Structure 1
């Protein structure tokens, strides 16, 4: 799966000479360091300080997840990309241009939701037309009129709710949800959304780590203790493209099935290990999808597109260039 390694079983991760070694059930699985950029620990994994030092020297980011498949935290190598100059500019942008950047993120979310829905409308699903018309004709006006973050977030929230309301026209009946429930997810579609969003959030953390941006200073979401809020901002734009397109394809092609791939309990529903592996494979394939970026005149992946959005933010802060997040239709 490219530069990402997933560990989905309980075990111990250690350094073995100049390689990583994952030990489970008294068997060793070796992970080459050369092409590894990030590791996802999806189960209980034991580590030690010797390993952390080795990971730091090789600039490998490790993401940890809890029992409910939610994000717990990230091990960061020491901050080799810190920039005092950009930090000052990022704080200035938050103070002076927060609404401009937040509105750009919401416009990006809506544009990409539109493109994802339009694919199904084009394939003779006329029921989606009302939501498409609202995104095209009413959402921009509502966004323009927003004068503070709360109003901007309300426009974003309504956009997502209208998107969710169309799932009944896209997915088979047993996957349709009544409402979005996150912690913990309570039905199969909520489980898929939560897991996909968490994977994308971690991918975005890695992308931002490899720039000079500060994870803590965000624009759409409130900067808060205990989470990397800029990663929430940047990842939102890519959710329709990466998370939801992956979900729609896996469910509609019956590669994921409720009876086979989910563990259901009284208050929660989670992907089982087989279901997680199917989703991860499709998610990684989506991340590595190659397309022509017209401005650069070269082929890139969605992984690269996320990082390019970070650089767009940097150019806005340093050079005053207009910030426009990735647009699925324009491929840039």
Structure 2
């Protein structure tokens, strides 16, 4: 259980939420673990299938406290709200900003700058920790290019120009991504980012990790009342969760890329975990996919200090915290959207 920005996150899947007086009563195996006063809570997010008591749901509706249910893996299940709720106002603000390219660029610039900063830090960490195994001069050149792109992004107020900056930064980043692969380089080689379909094991892993991250980001956005299909950097397209793609930009290097590199460098995968199909697409075997998901879920439990909140947060809650910060910015509670910047 974690409380951040007046939101309670219950991440243990076997925890049942009940009402005790004017408090949330957290029950595990019918034993009370903790009680939290409802009077200063805006929302509750619970992960798992144990659920909540009708009495608690009724009290939440009375006090306009949203109660959001996710599966243990982070998939959005549903959201309970009271008669009076700010979701309509919040979403109308989101739609207005999405229709205004200059305002959209203002928000998107922070997301792109966050992505580039986190890409820089991943490169710096590799250079620092493995200086004898990488081309330090080449890495430093790319780090400098990323730094320049980040400065450009922060002052950019045009969406097309911002996309160009992000694209150039991504190309520079991926040009040295293989340097971060330290083990089994005969199997896990990386020449360029390719998808639809991925043509090598590294791209297959990145695509799978990005798909998971996009799904979890969409669930997080729906959990705070935002429309995951209406974005700022990524424009509307039927069936595409554009805002989830926006908010996950800054999360790609620190969650997805970092996780894939860790799996490869720890030798948790081998050539036997991949299948090459007739169209040259490379996919994970069913067993490898299960292994990937188990390790992904385990990784989500590890904690990191959120640089904006100055509190420890599990990796799995990072998309939820960023969605909440974005909602607060749209409501006018924050002067700017703060992307997560991990050193």
Q: TM-score range by the shorter chain?
A: 0.7 to 0.9
Alpha-carbon RMSD across the aligned residues, in angstroms, is 2.9
Q: Deviations over 1:169-195 (max 9, x none)?
A: 122243223332211222111110110
Q: Structure 1 pair 35/270, CA: closer, same or farther in 2 (3 Å)? A: farther
Q: Deviations over 1:233-277 (max 9, x none)?
A: 11111111111111111111211112x211112321101122112
- Structure 1 segments, 4+ long, off by >6 Å, are none
1:133 aligns with 2:147: no
Superposition pairs of residues 5-154 of structure 1, within 5 angstroms: 33-34=49-50, 59-60=69-70, 77=78, 80=81, 83-94=87-98, 95=100, 97-123=103-129, 124=131, 125=134, 126=136, 127-136=138-147, 138-143=148-153, 146-154=156-164
Output the CA distance in 1 between the equivalents of 2:317 and 2:324. 11
State the shift of 1:140 in Å.
3.1
The corresponding residue for 1:157 is 167
- How many residue pairs are counted as aligned between the two chains? 271
1:204 aligns with 2:205: no
Q: Deviations over 1:207-235 (max 9, x none)?
A: 11210111122111112211211111111
Identify the match of residue 259 of structure 2 among 236, 246, 255: 246
Identify the match of residue 264 of structure 1 among 253, 257, 276: 276
The corresponding residue for 2:248 is 235
SS of aligned partner of 1:300: strand
Output the CA distance in 2 between the equivalents of 1:297 and 1:146. 28
State the shift of 1:131 in Å.
0.8
SS of aligned partner of 2:275: strand
SS of aligned partner of 1:270: strand
The corresponding residue for 2:64 is none
State the shift of 1:288 in Å.
1.9
Q: Structure 1 pair 294/241, CA: closer, same or farther in 2 (3 Å)? A: closer
State the shift of 1:62 in Å.
10
Q: Deviations over 1:14-37 (max 9, x none)?
A: xxxxxxxxxxxxxxxxxx82179x
Output the CA distance in 1 between the equivalents of 2:236 and 2:72. 23
Q: Structure 1 pair 134/58, CA: closer, same or farther in 2 (3 Å)? A: closer
State the shift of 1:78 in Å.
6.6
Output the CA distance in 1 between the equivalents of 2:109 and 2:308. 23
State the shift of 1:196 in Å.
0.4
Q: Structure 1 pair 295/321, CA: closer, same or farther in 2 (3 Å)? A: same
Identify the match of residue 302 of structure 1 among 296, 315, 318: 315
Q: Structure 1 pair 78/142, CA: closer, same or farther in 2 (3 Å)? A: closer
TM-score (norm 1): 0.73
SS of aligned partner of 2:227: coil
Q: Deviations over 1:27-48 (max 9, x none)?
A: xxxxx82179xxxxxxxxxxxx
Q: Structure 1 pair 88/165, CA: closer, same or farther in 2 (3 Å)? A: same
Flag structure 1 segments of 5+ consecutive residues without an equivalent.
Answer: 5-31, 37-56, 64-73
Identify the match of residue 218 of structure 1 among 228, 231, 252: 231
The corresponding residue for 1:51 is none
1:286 aligns with 2:287: no
Identify the match of residue 177 of structure 2 among 167, 173, 179: 167
Output the CA distance in 1 between the equivalents of 2:143 and 2:308. 27
Identify the match of residue 192 of structure 1 among 205, 223, 227: 205
SS of aligned partner of 1:175: coil
1:321 aligns with 2:332: no
State the shift of 1:141 in Å.
4.3
Output the CA distance in 2 between the equivalents of 1:164 and 1:204. 23
Output the CA distance in 2 between the equivalents of 1:103 and 1:58. 29
2:108–2:232 CA contact under 8 A, matched in 1: yes
2:79–2:223 CA contact under 8 A, matched in 1: no
